[in-house]
């Protein structure tokens, strides 16, 4: 921040010491962009052109997309991903936002303890919870169903969502609630009508994070929805990867990769400022 | 503000209930299960066979595959952490040094974090490390480094190294953001004073920045440890879709002995109780690491 103002005019004596930094960061950035860009091109290419090193040598081909969506279930996987993601991020908000509000705004015995509980939960690895959840789902006869995976997603997303929103609720002014109370608005209505909209910057950011997290999630989906009609994109593409490799269909494989990352990439391009600001919102102490 | 009982139940009830279902019950049951032989994960608890510490003893004494998985994750943990911290700090310093296009650079560096592990893993294995048309091969050939261009990244012997590089590459942007945020909090007059006194960039970094952001390294270690415990998708992507002893991690091992009869895995090894013990061992290791960190790096309030 401190150098922003001096930046506007180019001066060699100021820029020259920064040169090694520029070079290093530029190499890194170009490498990343080539990696992502090449995969996009490869999905529009043919196996022959990919191996000849002259990508798009045979022109642009959309066959692999057609093939992936029509013959390889990619459309169904995409739809599943959309269902899992949209329902889960909504569910997380519905449960975590009121709880977060309560913990941030009200004094009661055990408040600090409950907050501590949710902090600890963020450090509990999935390997410690997955086995009993799986056998519980099996006993209830709800293995391989969309609802089970969605519930697992919602519940495991609550600690993070709750914590992220906590800061936003704590920073709101008391006067909103006081004037609402004077006007005869009950606390529950006050929350939904007044406080929740006021915290919307936080809600939008945490929802973006939850979206990216669930869209990219792999392990839980592999265990709870490992059936061809239930798979989300990440697991679906993983499951078809073998057949792509076996058939030597490289464009098909890269098409799968592109379809997985395009939605999060577009979201990132549009909202990178908000996302980057949110990354360090909760993680940094001191 | 005071709260009514009804509001407490309505607002906090669902979250607390979810906590019981998804954390308290499973963690306790996993801990319990680690002392039993459980052939199938779906077995009723009446079919469990109490074996005392046998699961732990078997895992830690004569189980080559599990020991290899611990070694692998130890390798990723140590070398990956060194690399990530080095580059993340370096990039944080560079981007905070007043370069142009700071926001653009920052966005691209963080970019790998928003891409699914399955997608990133495929990009690395099938493109960057590819021995025929790979990106690294092209780069080294371009600079005439044919020796390096021929390096077999996806050979069995180099697979773990390649996987560590690919995984760490993506994490660098994330940790860089954390370091940058911590560095932003250091008052700029410290640097101005140091500049007046004639301190160079290295002196400023080692004498001002590093000591003042030291608390953030604890965050780094916690986040890195959590990531390593859950190391799963990358391992699958780097082992030609099946498991491979070179890249097997504890999570992959657990997955194989609990959820599937993998090729090459002795079916008699199927034991959900041992899977639970794997989880317990990882958790104990993580807690031990945190305790040591807390002991070595005392949390003190850095006051500006």
Q: What integer pLDDT is reported at residue A286 of this predicted model?
A: 30
CA distance A227 to A216: 18
CA distance A74 to A64: 11
Q: What integer pLDDT is reported at residue A284 of this predicted model?
A: 41
Q: B26 and A101: CB-CB below 8 Å?
A: no
Helix/strand/coil for B232: coil
The pair of three-digit structure tokens given for residue B283, joined into one six-digit string: 């958790």
B94 Cα to chain A: minimum distance (Å): 5
Residues near B162 by Cβ (< 8 Å), separated by ≥ 6? B124, B125, B129, B153, B154, B238
CA distance B279 to A125: 8
Mean predicted confidence (pLDDT) in B81-94: 93
Q: What integer pLDDT is reported at residue B80 of this predicted model?
A: 94
ipTM: 0.88
Q: What integer pLDDT is reported at residue B3 of this predicted model?
A: 61
Q: Using a CB-CB distance cutoff of 8 angstroms, which residues of chain A are in contact with residue B121?
A: none
Q: B122 and A257: CB-CB below 8 Å?
A: yes
Mean predicted confidence (pLDDT) in B98-111: 90
CA distance A221 to A149: 7
Q: A96 and B15: CB-CB below 8 Å?
A: yes
CB A155, CB B18: distance < 8 Å: yes
CA angle, A194 then A195 then A200, to 5°: 105
Q: Which of A39, A47, A130, A181 to mutate to test the interface with B (most CBs of B within 10 A)?
A: A130
- Asked which of A235-244, B7-16, B279-288 is least confident by mean pLDDT, the reply is A235-244
- Asked which of A58-72, A227-241, B85-99, B108-122 is least confident by mean pLDDT, the reply is A58-72
Helix/strand/coil for B50: strand
φ/ψ of residue B262, rounded to 5:
-70, 155
Nearest to A260 among B19, B112, B118 (CB): B118
Place of tokens 């995976």: A149
Q: What is the pLDDT along chain A (286 residues), one digit of tens a residue?
A: 444 444 456 677 777 778 888 899 999 999 999 999 998 988 888 887 888 777 777 778 888 888 878 777 888 899 999 999 999 999 999 999 999 999 998 888 889 999 999 988 988 888 999 999 999 998 888 888 899 999 999 999 999 999 999 988 988 888 888 888 888 888 888 888 888 999 888 899 999 999 999 999 999 999 898 788 899 999 998 888 878 888 888 888 888 899 999 999 999 999 888 888 888 765 443 3
Q: What's the Rg (C-alpha) of chain A?
A: 24
Chain B's closest residue to A212, CA to CA, is: B114
CA distance A279 to A79: 28
The residue extents of the domains of chain B are 77-126+165-296
Q: A98 and B215: CB-CB below 8 Å?
A: no
Pairing status of strand B49-50 against strand B36-37: antiparallel
Q: What integer pLDDT is reported at residue B70 of this predicted model?
A: 92
Q: How far is CA A129 from the centre of its chain?
A: 21
Return the H-helix or E-strand segment holding B37: strand B36-37
Q: Using a CB-CB distance cutoff of 8 angstroms, which residues of chain A are in contact with residue B250?
A: 127
CB A140, CB A177: distance < 8 Å: no
Q: What integer pLDDT is reported at residue B303 of this predicted model?
A: 59
Q: From residue A269, give the alpha-carbon distance in Å to each of A36, A273, B107.
A: 13, 9, 9
B250 lies within 8 A of chain A by CB = yes
Q: What integer pLDDT is reported at residue A283 of this predicted model?
A: 45
The listed range with the strongest mean pLDDT (A47-61, B153-167, B287-301) is B153-167
Mean predicted confidence (pLDDT) in B146-162: 83
Sorted by where each starts, the structural domains of chain A and their CATH numbers stand as 4-63 (no CATH), 65-283 (1.10.3720.10)
Per-residue burial over B283-293, b = 16 or more CB atoms within 10 Å of its CB, e = otherwise: bebbeebeeeb
Indicate whether B203 pLDDT > 50.
yes
Mean predicted confidence (pLDDT) in B12-40: 93
Nearest to A108 among B3, B27, B123 (CB): B3
Indicate whether B127 pLDDT > 50.
yes
Chain B's closest residue to A24, CA to CA, is: B91
- Asked which of A52-56, A200-204, B93-97, B288-292 is least confident by mean pLDDT, the reply is A52-56
Q: What integer pLDDT is reported at residue B1 of this predicted model?
A: 54
What size, in residues, is chain B? 304
Of chain B, the percentage scoring pLDDT greater than 70 comes to: 92
- Residue from B123, B297, B67, B172 nearest A28 by CA: B172
Within the 142-161 window of chain B, which residues sit less than 8 Å (CB to CB) from chain A?
A: none
Mean predicted confidence (pLDDT) in B231-249: 81
What size, in residues, is chain A? 286
Place of tokens 């190499």: A27
Mean predicted confidence (pLDDT) in B144-163: 84
Nearest to B12 among A24, A102, A268 (CB): A102
CA distance A153 to A88: 6
Q: Using a CB-CB distance cutoff of 8 angstroms, which residues of chain A are in contact with residue B112?
A: 32
Q: What integer pLDDT is reported at residue A152 of this predicted model?
A: 94
Mean pLDDT value across chain B: 86
B134 lies within 8 A of chain A by CB = no
Return the H-helix or E-strand segment holding B49: strand B49-50
Tens of pLDDT, residue by residue over B254-276, are 988 888 754 456 666 788 899 99
Q: What integer pLDDT is reported at residue A69 of this predicted model?
A: 81
Mean predicted confidence (pLDDT) in B137-143: 86
Helix/strand/coil for B36: strand
- Residue from B153, B20, B6, B175 nearest B86 by CA: B175
CATH architecture classification, B77-126+165-296: Orthogonal Bundle (1.10)
Q: A223 and B216: CB-CB below 8 Å?
A: no
Q: What integer pLDDT is reported at residue B120 of this predicted model?
A: 93
Q: From residue A125, give the alpha-carbon distance in Å to each of A218, A220, B144, B223, B280.
A: 14, 12, 46, 11, 10
Of chain B, the percentage scoring pLDDT greater than 90 comes to: 34
């Amino acid at each position: 921040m401190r150098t922003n103002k001096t930046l506007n005019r180019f001066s060699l004596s100021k820029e020259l010491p920064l040169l090694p930094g520029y070079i290093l960061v530029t190499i890194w950035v170009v490498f990343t962009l080539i990696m992502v860009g090449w995969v996009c091109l490869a999905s529009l290419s043919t196996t022959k052109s990919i191996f000849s090193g002259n990508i798009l040598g045979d022109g642009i081909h959309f066959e692999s997309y057609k093939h992936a969506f029509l013959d390889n279930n990619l459309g169904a996987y995409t739809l599943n991903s959309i269902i899992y993601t949209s329902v889960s991020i909504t569910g997380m908000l519905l449960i975590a936002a009121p709880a977060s509000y309560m913990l941030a705004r009200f004094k009661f015995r055990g408040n600090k303890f409950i907050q501590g509980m949710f902090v600890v939960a963020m450090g509990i690895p999935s390997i410690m919870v997955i086995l009993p959840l799986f056998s519980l789902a099996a006993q209830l006869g709800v293995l391989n169903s969309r609802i089970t995976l969605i519930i697992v997603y919602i519940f495991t997303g609550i600690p993070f969502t709750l914590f992220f929103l906590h800061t936003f609720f704590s920073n709101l002014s008391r006067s909103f609630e006081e004037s609402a109370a004077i006007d005869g608005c009950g606390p529950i209505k006050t929350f939904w009508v007044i406080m929740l909209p006021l915290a919307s910057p936080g809600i939008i950011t945490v929802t973006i994070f939850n979206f990216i997290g669930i869209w990219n999630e792999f392990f839980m989906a592999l265990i709870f929805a490992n059936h061809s009609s239930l798979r989300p994109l990440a697991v679906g593409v993983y499951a078809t990867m073998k057949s792509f490799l076996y058939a030597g269909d490289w464009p098909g494989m890269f098409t799968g990769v592109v379809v997985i990352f395009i939605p999060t990439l577009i979201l990132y391009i549009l909202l990178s400022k908000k996302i980057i600001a949110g990354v360090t919102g909760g993680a940094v102490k001191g | 503000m005071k709260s009514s009982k009804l509001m407490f139940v309505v607002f906090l009830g669902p979250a607390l209930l979810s906590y019981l279902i998804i954390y308290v019950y499973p963690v306790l049951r996993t801990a319990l299960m680690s002392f039993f032989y459980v052939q199938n994960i779906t077995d009723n608890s009446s079919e469990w066979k109490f074996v005392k510490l046998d699961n732990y003893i078997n895992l830690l004494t004569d189980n080559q595959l599990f020991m290899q998985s611990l070694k692998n994750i130890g390798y990723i943990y140590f070398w990956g952490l060194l690399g990530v911290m080095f580059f993340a700090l370096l990039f944080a310093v560079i981007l905070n040094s007043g370069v142009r296009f700071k926001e653009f650079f920052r966005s691209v560096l963080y970019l790998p974090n928003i891409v699914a592990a399955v997608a990133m893993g495929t990009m690395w294995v099938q493109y960057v490390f590819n021995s025929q048309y790979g990106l690294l091969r092209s780069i080294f050939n371009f600079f005439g480094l044919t020796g390096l261009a021929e390096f077999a990244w996806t050979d069995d012997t180099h697979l773990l190294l390649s996987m560590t590089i690919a995984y760490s590459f993506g994490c660098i942007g994330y940790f860089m953001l954390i370091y940058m945020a911590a560095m932003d909090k250091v008052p700029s007059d410290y640097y101005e004073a140091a500049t007046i006194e004639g301190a160079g960039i290295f002196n400023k970094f080692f004498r001002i920045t590093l000591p003042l952001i030291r608390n953030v390294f604890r965050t780094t270690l916690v986040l890195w440890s959590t990531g390593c415990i859950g190391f799963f998708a990358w391992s699958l992507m780097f082992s030609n879709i099946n498991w491979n002893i070179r890249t097997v991690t504890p999570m992959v091992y657990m997955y194989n002995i609990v959820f599937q009869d993998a090729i090459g895995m002795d079916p008699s090894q199927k034991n959900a109780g041992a899977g639970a013990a794997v989880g317990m061992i990882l958790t104990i290791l993580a807690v031990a690491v945190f305790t040591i960190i807390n002991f070595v790096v005392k949390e003190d309030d850095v006051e500006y």
